């Protein structure tokens, strides 16, 4: 593994800590979590910890000391021949230090004692409170251990910074190492969507289509889906977070699939909607073209200095006008937007940051304003339209749910769609499904 990007990020964080007066940062990774009795969920490192270390084992903690030496320390599991026979390789502190480029590494068993020592006479603690009660207690215990030594002349930090706030800003703009991984995650998920289009037919089950994704993801080296895939036939497409994926696919229905994968921690997030039988019906095509038009408008709005909300506003204008033209909404364009009556059919936003987390870190606002896009940011573009049965809606539109979602990288000129290889024009989808 190339450790340089991780070391650079640690140095950058240390620099920012120094600028803000110094102190000690504590960034633990995720624990293993029990699924049932003695079985755990597949392990996934904490995104912040991964961003700064690349270290893959649970029971590990990064400590950064922003004094003039700017040190990064790892606490991790000891080597244990007996446990390694059962559960696999562990680096142990000595090898971890060398392999990942830390200034020092210690046994995780020494952490609590060492933390109290490290915090003494430091101006600030950099830690993100409130995400894990057990961790908050552990940190409070270390702080109190320093406070208890006041009469011995030791001073505890008086300032607590939310280290995640600083890291969120760093994570928001991706570097070349990250973009390469996101490109790969996008390519693999795109291949899986194409595979699903070719596989789908009336009489298949949603879970059979889901299996095509899982197979393609793992076959191409993705470690996991980046979220639970949504494979939603017919009316299920109007349930935004549908994950049962157990229904029989019917001739004449649309199939909405929202599925992406993770490559070395980085997510892709793609939605495609296509006809189970390979041919869009008239009203289905009307709604589909409308959503595609909204997505095109949104993509055009992604460029440096544009507001994060610009793609959403562009998509809403197109969707609102289209819903009026199709007589699904009444009133003027401005009226429909003003009253937000379009939200009956389009109730979510057009995108979110994408990165290590599928809904990635990073503020969406600066003060009162939506933040401005800058090159290196990555976000999704995912307008949709979901029409539930209702008396005042023409029956031909009932249960049509369409979403089209791509992953965009903001560039100097505008944006690059990382998921470009996944067909979305009606003609291209129908041609692929015919094959
Ligand atoms: N798949 C989650 C989302 O599209 O936001
Ligand atoms: Mn999605
Ligand atoms: Mn998304």
CA–CA separation, 199 vs 257, rounded Å? 13
- Hey, is 105 helix, strand or coil? strand
Q: What is the pLDDT of residue 1?
A: 84
Rg (CA), the chain: 25
Q: How far apart are CA 188 and CA 261, in angstroms?
A: 7
Contact 409, 416 (CB under 8 A): yes
Q: Which of 359, 365, 366, 394 is catalytic?
A: 359
Q: Whose CA is nearest to atom 5 of ligand 1?
A: 359
Which is catalytic among the residues 10, 90, 386, 407?
386
147 and 155 Cβ atoms separated by less than 8 Å: no
CA 382 to centroid of ligand 3, rounded, Å: 6
**Structure-token match 């790969």, residue found:** 184
Strand order in the sheet with 24-28: 104-107, 71-76, 61-65, 24-28, 124-126, 159-161
User: Is residue 264 a contact partner of residue 414, using CB atoms and an 8 Å limit?
Assistant: no
Q: How far is the CA of 351 from the centre of ligand 2 (A)?
A: 9
- How do residues 221-239 score in pLDDT, each as one tens digit? 999 999 999 999 999 999 9
pLDDT (average), residues 416-431: 97
Give the CATH number of domain 4-171: 3.40.350.10
**How many angstroms is it from 34 CA to the middle of ligand 2?**
27
Catalytic residue list contains 147? no
**Ligand 1 atom 3 nearest Cα:** 269
State mean pLDDT over 22-48.
Answer: 98
CA atoms within 13 A on the CB side of 206: 23
3-state secondary structure of 259: strand
Could you tell me if the CB of 269 is within 6 A of ligand 1? yes
Full-model pTM: 0.97
The CATH classification of domain 173-434, taken from the options 3.90.230.10, 3.90.380.10, 3.40.720.10, 3.40.50.10490: 3.90.230.10
Any atom of ligand 1 within 6 Å of the Cβ of 357 = no
**Tens of pLDDT along 80-107?**
999 999 999 999 999 999 999 999 999 9
Domain map of the chain by residue range?
A: 4-171, 173-434
How crowded is residue 40: how many other Cβ atoms within 10 Å of its Cβ? Answer: 12
Q: pLDDT at residue 4 above 90? A: yes
Give the nearest ligand 1 atom to 382 CA.
Answer: 4
Greatest Cα-to-Cα distance within the chain, rounded to the nearest angstrom: 81
pLDDT score for 212: 98
Query: What residues contact residue 45 under an 8 Å CB cut-off, 6+ apart?
Result: 29, 30, 55, 56, 58, 265
Predicted confidence band of residue 435 (pLDDT cuts 50, 70, 90): confident
Structure tokens at 407: 């992953």
Tens of pLDDT, residue by residue over 168-208, are 999 999 999 999 999 999 999 999 999 999 999 999 999 99
Among the listed residues 280, 287, 382, 275, the one whose alpha carbon sits nearest the alpha carbon of residue 327? 287
CA angle 315/319/325 to nearest 5° reads: 150
**Which pLDDT value is given to residue 307?**
98
Closest alpha carbon to 202 in 278, 277, 256: 277
282-300 vs 310-325: helix axis angle to the nearest 10?
150
Residue closest to 294 by CA, chosen among 327, 319, 263, 261: 319
């Amino acid at each position: 593994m190339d450790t340089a990007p991780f070391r650079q990020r640690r140095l950058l964080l240390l620099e920012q800590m120094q600028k803000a007066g110094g102190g000690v940062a504590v960034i633990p990774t995720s624990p293993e979590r029990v699924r049932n009795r003695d079985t755990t969920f597949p392990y996934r490192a904490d995104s912040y910890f991964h961003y700064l270390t690349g270290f893959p084992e649970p029971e590990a903690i990064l400590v950064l000391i922003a004094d003039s030496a700017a040190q990064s320390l790892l606490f991790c599991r000891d080597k244990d021949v007996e446990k390694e026979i059962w559960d696999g390789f562990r680096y142990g502190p000595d090898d971890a230090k060398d392999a990942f480029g830390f200034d020092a590494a210690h046994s995780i068993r020494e952490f609590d004692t060492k933390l109290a020592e490290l915090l003494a006479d430091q101006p600030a603690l950099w830690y993100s409170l409130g995400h894990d009660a057990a961790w908050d207690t552990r940190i409070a215990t270390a702080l109190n251990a320093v406070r208890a030594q006041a009469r011995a002349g030791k001073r505890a930090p008086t300032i607590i910074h939310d280290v995640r706030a600083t890291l969120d800003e760093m994570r928001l703009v991706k570097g070349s190492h990250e973009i390469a991984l996101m490109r790969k995650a996008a390519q693999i998920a795109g291949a899986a969507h194409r595979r699903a289009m070719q596989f789908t037919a009336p009489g298949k089950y949603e879970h059979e289509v889901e299996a095509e994704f899982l197979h393609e993801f793992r076959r191409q080296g993705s470690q996991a889906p980046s979220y639970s895939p949504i494979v939603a036939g017919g009316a299920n497409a109007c349930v935004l977070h549908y994950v049962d994926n157990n229904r029989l696919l019917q001739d004449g229905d649309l199939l909405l699939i929202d599925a992406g994968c993770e490559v070395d921690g980085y997510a892709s997030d793609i939605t495609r909607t296509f006809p189970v039988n390979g041919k869009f019906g008239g009203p289905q095509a009307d709604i589909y073209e409308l959503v595609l038009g909204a997505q095109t408008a949104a993509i055009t709005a992604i460029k440096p200095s544009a507001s994060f909300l610009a793609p959403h506003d562009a998509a809403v204008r197109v969707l609102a006008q289209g819903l009026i033209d199709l007589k699904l909404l009444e009133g003027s364009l401005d009226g429909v937007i003003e009253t937000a009556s379009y939200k009956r059919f389009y109730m979510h936003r057009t995108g979110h940051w994408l990165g290590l987390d599928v809904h990635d870190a990073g503020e969406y606002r600066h003060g009162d304003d939506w933040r401005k896009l800058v090159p290196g940011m990555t976000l999704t573009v995912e307008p949709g339209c979901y029409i539930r049965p209702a008396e005042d809606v023409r029956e031909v539109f009932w249960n049509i749910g369409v979403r089209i979602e791509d992953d965009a990288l903001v560039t100097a000129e505008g944006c690059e769609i990382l998921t470009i290889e996944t067909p979305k024009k009606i003609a291209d989808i129908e041609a692929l499904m015919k094959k």
